[in-house]
């Protein structure tokens, strides 16, 4: 269906050099979008850029540390100047610090909130300002988590940040609906990526995931691309303020 095509649009994907971010970028490119990848590592960005060029789309890169939130507005303006207007923003970059809450340092708490929540707001605000000033519509896709709706032991800052993503998504969707800026989120389940590979290879944890997930398997980044293309495209032009969980039924199971 043509309403799912993204031809003539450009998507910025944070944390786009590997894992879920790279998978989402590929899915959007295969649907017709040009891509700008943002991540900290220049070498990984270049490698992913070269891999994504097989889609035939224009692939740009920008090495940036999103924990430096004061610089995000300027970074976004630079991206627009170098690569052109951004029509789709995918806020995927994130981090975590695992610890019992009573042993967690405030520095670790602040780092997780800064990257997972404050940076998302700052980049979304920069995106919205450009869209509003140019009188153009836009699509924002935030990446949440199962921990947007529930919690696991030793993950207080991550759960707080991803719970914040759920409500930030709703709040921004209300503020920016008059400007035709759609704000939605995807909540991945347990996804097999290089980052989670040690958990996949841990027999006890792997058994727990497989036994708990109704579909009986880990997800992979490709499982998320359908939801991303839908939320980025005209097919979702009456959908805003929502989080779509792509979790193999995880949250549905008691």
The catalytic site residues sit at: 158
| 36 vs 13: CA distance, rounded Å | 6
The closest of 174, 76, 64 to 127, measured between CA atoms, is 76
Query: Which residues touch 29 (CB under 8 Å, ≥6 apart)?
Result: 35, 52, 55, 57, 59
| 48 vs 93: CA distance, rounded Å | 15
**Distance set, CA 99 to CA 92, 94, 109, 209 (Å):** 23, 17, 10, 20
**What is the side-by-side strand order in the sheet with 243-246?**
59-63, 34-39, 10-14, 88-91, 138-143, 181-188, 243-246
Tell me if residue 100 falls in helix, strand or coil. coil
Residue 252 · residue 189 · CB < 8 Å? no
């Amino acid at each position: 269906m043509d309403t799912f095509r993204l031809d003539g649009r450009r998507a910025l994907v944070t944390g786009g050099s590997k894992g879920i971010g790279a998978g989402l970028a590929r899915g959007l490119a295969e649907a017709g979008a040009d891509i700008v990848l943002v991540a900290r590592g220049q070498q990984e960005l270049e490698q992913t850029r070269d891999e994504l060029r097989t889609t035939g789309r224009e692939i740009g890169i920008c090495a940036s540390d999103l924990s430096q939130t004061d610089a995000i507005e300027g970074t976004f303006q630079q991206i627009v100047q170098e690569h052109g207007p951004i029509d789709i923003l995918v806020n995927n970059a994130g981090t975590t610090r695992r610890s019992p809450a009573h042993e967690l340092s405030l520095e670790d708490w602040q780092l997780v909130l800064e990257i997972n929540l404050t940076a998302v707001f700052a980049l979304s605000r920069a995106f919205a300002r450009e869209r509003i000033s140019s009188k153009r519509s836009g699509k924002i896709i935030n990446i949440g988590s199962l921990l947007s709706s529930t919690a696991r032991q030793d993950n207080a800052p991550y759960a707080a940040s991803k719970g914040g993503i759920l409500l930030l998504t709703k709040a921004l969707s209300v503020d920016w609906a008059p400007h035709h800026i759609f704000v939605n989120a995807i909540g991945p389940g347990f996804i097999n990526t290089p980052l989670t590979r040690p958990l996949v290879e841990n027999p006890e944890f792997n058994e727990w995931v497989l036994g708990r997930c109704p579909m009986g398997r880990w997800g992979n980044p490709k499982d998320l691309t359908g939801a991303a293309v839908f939320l980025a495209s005209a097919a979702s032009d009456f959908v805003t303020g929502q989080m779509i969980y792509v979790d193999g039924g995880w949250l549905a199971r008691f």
